[in-house]
Amino acid sequence: MSPEELDSELRALLHSESEAVPDAGFSLRVAKALPCRRAQSWLRPVILLGMTFIGCLLGFVIFAGGEVLQQALARVSHTEWVIALPVPWLLLVYFLSWVAVASAVGDRASDESRTA
């Protein structure tokens, strides 16, 4: 087939009204071989929002204005132990929680990629 014939055939396919190039069922076989769509997980956004909220609270305690949060907690009964926690320990707990969540999400993603 000469280049002119190939060019005219490709242009005809480009401008034709059919949506797909005939491929003897190749596209259908590829689409069937793809893994099913994963259902939307509600857990990941909840964890992300929760960790963001905890990080904001820690920001209130660490930076200026933390006294307002501590005074508000002092008015609530049975929260003296929270006020007595030193900030480095709060940061350590937050960091370890973040690492655990990131590790769990990463392990789950790698398990899914191995099974696919």
What pLDDT, on a 0 to 100 scale, did the predictor assign at position 37? 77
Residue 19 to residue 72: CA distance in whole angstroms:
64
Q: What is the pLDDT of residues 77-98, one digit of tens each?
A: 776 766 666 766 777 777 888 7
Count how many residues are written for the chain.
116
C-alpha torsion 81→86→87→93, nearest 10: -70
- Rg over alpha carbons for the chain, rounded to the nearest Å, is 29
| Boundaries of every domain in the chain | 3-115
Q: What is the pLDDT of residues 18-55, one digit of tens each?
A: 666 678 888 889 988 988 877 777 777 788 788 888 87
What pLDDT, on a 0 to 100 scale, did the predictor assign at position 93? 78
79 versus 6: the higher-pLDDT residue is: 6
pTM above 0.95, yes or no: no
